[in-house]
Amino acid sequence: MVARLPSIGLGTWENTDPQQCAESVRTALELGYRHVDTAEHYGNEAAVGRGIAMADVPREDVFLATKVHPVTGGLRHDEVLEEARASMDRLDTDYLDLLYVHWPVEAYEAEETLGAFEELVDDGLVRNVGVSNFDVDLLDEACETLEAPLFAHQVEMHPFLQRPELVEHAQRHGYDLVAYSPLARGEALDHPTVRDIADRYDASPAQVCLAWATSHDSVVAIPKATSRGHQEDNLGARDLDLDEADIARIDGIERRERFVDREGAPWQ
């Protein structure tokens, strides 16, 4: 069990070209990434698995996460068991380091769904249990339901959607908050505050956004990047330490916007 995820991982959402996806995963791992995130709903698990196999990095050094979707797979007990095994087949792996509930909608029910997840852990097929797109009430319910500690909560987080209540919950309960779309789908890169801070540090706007996110205890980020240049740039955020004043400037950005939503989401 990993005590803490790397501060910067590789997101693969919308990376659906099989050859490009496999090559981008291979390149990222050989650059030093060790956390790769996918989902059955992304339709790219097979390509992600090929990329891992192609890389000159042992499988045991890669933290591989995927997700069971409420519609693509289903969140009833037997559906979770079946879809987790199907994901493993597509990824060509004997185990998953982390399996998430992708969205708490449709047939999601904490005891039944998470009970299936824990069965997979007991069988040695899944090493850690995560949830995604939850609110505080659902997180409390999950923490109370799970026998083992919750490992991670994946949620949209960036300078325009800062999620302080979810960050605080992660810190209080000792799990990682995994920030997806940490660049606000590229929108945050053009914000004047972000660009000004980037100029001051001789850094890229992407590095500033990622350094801001990971400056919070218990927060890691999984930006999507397909080119070697963008992957290298994002990884460079590990070496960027923003001072408290600049973190406060980003905290003070007033624009609020969500880029990922779906019917039935807990915040609706």
Q: What residues act catalytically?
A: 42
List Cβ neighbours of 154 (8 Å cut-off, separation of 6 or more).
37, 67, 100, 130, 131, 132, 133, 177, 178, 179, 180, 222
What residues have CB less than 8 Å from 198, skipping those under 6 apart?
Answer: 204, 205, 207, 208
- Give me the DSSP letters along 58-91: -GGG-EEEEEE-TTTT--SHHHHHHHHHHHHHHH
| Contact indicator for 43, 17 with CB cutoff of 8 Å | no
